[in-house]
Amino acid sequence: MDDASAKPRGFDAATLAQTPGVLHGVIDSGDLSGAVTLVWRKGEIAQVNVLGQRDIARSAPMERDTLFRIASMTKPVTSVAALMLMEEGKLALADPITRWAPEFADMRVLTSPTGPIGDTYPSPRDITIEDLLTHRAGLAYGFTSIGPIAHAHQKALGDVLNTDTGPDAWMGALASLPLSFPPGERFHYSHATDVLGFIVGRIGGSGFRDFLMERILGPLSMTDTDFYIPPAKRDREAVVYRLEEDSGALEPVPFRQYDAPPAFCGGGGGLISTADDYLRFARMLLGHGEVDGVRLLKPETVRLMTANRLTPAQREITFMGMPFWAGQGFGLGLSVITDPEKQAWMGAGSKGAFGWPGAFGTWWQADPAQDMVILYMIQNSIPLGPEAVAQLATGQRMGARVALPMFQKLVYGALGEA
């Protein structure tokens, strides 16, 4: 169903009304099970679309409170947690992480990022907190890597979304692998934010999940956001689907269910949330660290977080095989549009708009120039095994992903006077 009661403040209603039809087309084609989209602007909900099914086998429709695995949309939440500790003087961007994570002392770096695991040299310096926040730590993901290191990650770490490994054992396993690049050299998407989260937990003393619950999720009333789905809420879960190329059908991707918080609560991609819950978080950042009287960060910290920190040379390096950084940069856990005319991989947005997507197709953007937050929630899996970066765009029917820029452009095309 579509929420037709939403008032499109500051939008051309007819243009905005085209959104559900476009998304319905992708759902009807069989590329996507369903979607929840939300547009908030200038203090009001402008549009909510609730389309398709959250569970095809049960003919269960999407609902506004459907629970989504938001994957890397977890990273900005973890980054905020670390920056809260920075404001309290408990860590600094320049601090070496070995202060709290001695596992990462005396790291070694691959001579070639695609070469043999044993061909390494000593890291020229320790990884810092800023390196983790900007993905310049030299760490890796298996799916963003090519060669032996990609498979070594899979063997040492397994699937972080379906693991019983505790934080300490996992940190030790990651630290046993060589770095792909020297710290600070380049943006290389990685487990850096998982490491950051576990450091937050060590500094906080009660564990990473408890820190988030007590300091971020609780104060923001994000009551449906957690690292697992309690049994009482499980009926609201959206199934993650992948498109089987042979059959052309959407097939469920299995995830372990937990009746209590899992041992591994990863700050890089473990959260489950709803559109309205994440809207609270996005509005907090859009509000310079405050929403509805609840302040988590100082305005100057949010400015620091949303300012590009990549050098021009670092932005020349492709990301996932694409010229991703044309017209945008990366701050402390967020990407930010620096030139709307040049950026092509965020769909649409004003200069200064910021966000970060998730691997299962979820996406959000906060746009200060428009006083707007946009959310796009789907559950569409693409291959993320070792060396997936080399094959992400090959042989895939990408209708579910193409729908996102279509949605973005419709929203921005509908903008009118406030």
**3-state SS assignment for residue 255:** coil
Look up residue 264 and give its DSSP letter: -
Angstrom distance (rounded) from CA 362 to CA 360: 6
pLDDT of 269-281, one tens digit each? 999 999 999 999 9
pLDDT of 254-264, one tens digit each? 999 999 999 99
Mean pLDDT of the chain: 92
Is the pLDDT reported for residue 5 higher than 50? no
Cβ neighbour number for residue 106 with a 10 Å cutoff: 10
User: Tokens representing 271?
Assistant: 């959260």
User: Tokens representing 113?
Assistant: 């990022």
Angstrom distance (rounded) from CA 316 to CA 147: 22
pLDDT of 119-158, one tens digit each? 999 999 999 999 999 999 999 998 888 999 999 998 999 8
Is the pLDDT reported for residue 384 higher than 90? no
* Contacts (Cβ under 8 Å, ≥6 apart) of 273: 67, 68, 70, 73, 222, 224, 225
Q: Give 220-236 as a 3 state SS string.
A: CCCCCCECCCCHHHHHH
Q: Residues 181, 183, 185, 190: is their CA dihedral positive or negative?
A: positive
Q: Which of the four pLDDT bands, split at 50, 70 and 90, describes residue 248? A: confident
* Contacts (Cβ under 8 Å, ≥6 apart) of 305: 79, 80, 83, 285, 297, 331, 332, 333, 334
Angstrom distance (rounded) from CA 209 to CA 245: 37
pTM of the model: 0.95
Strand ranges across the sheet with 380-381: 250-252, 241-243, 380-381
* Contacts (Cβ under 8 Å, ≥6 apart) of 343: 326, 327, 328, 337, 349
Q: Which residue's structure tokens are 């770096």?
A: 109
Is the pLDDT reported for residue 345 higher than 70? no
Strand partners, 273: 68
φ and ψ of 118, to 5 deg: -85, -5
Average pLDDT over residues 286-315: 97
Report whether 54 contacts 60 (CB < 8 A). yes
Q: Which of the four pLDDT bands, split at 50, 70 and 90, describes residue 395? A: very low
φ and ψ of 262, to 5 deg: -70, 165
Taking CA 267 as the corner, what is the angle to CA 394 and CA 163, rounded to the nearest 5 degrees? Answer: 75
Average pLDDT over residues 276-305: 98
How far from 156 is each of 10, 110, 151, 367, 409, CA to CA, in Å?
A: 51, 17, 9, 39, 41
State the virtual CA torsion across 335, 262, 225, 348 in degrees, nearest 10. Answer: 20
* Contacts (Cβ under 8 Å, ≥6 apart) of 31: 243, 250, 380, 397, 398, 399, 400, 403
Look at residue 311 in the predicted model and tell me its pLDDT: 96
pLDDT of 62-102, one tens digit each? 999 999 999 999 999 999 999 999 999 999 999 999 999 99
Angstrom distance (rounded) from CA 81 to CA 266: 13
> What totals of helices (H) and strands (E) does the chain contain, helices first?
12, 18
For strand 335-337 and strand 328-330, is the pairing parallel, antiparallel, or unpaired? antiparallel
Report whether 290 contacts 284 (CB < 8 A). yes
Angstrom distance (rounded) from CA 247 to CA 331: 41
Report whether 81 contacts 212 (CB < 8 A). yes
Angstrom distance (rounded) from CA 238 to CA 36: 10
Angstrom distance (rounded) from CA 167 to CA 200: 12
How far from 65 is each of 216, 225, 291, CA to CA, in Å?
A: 20, 11, 20
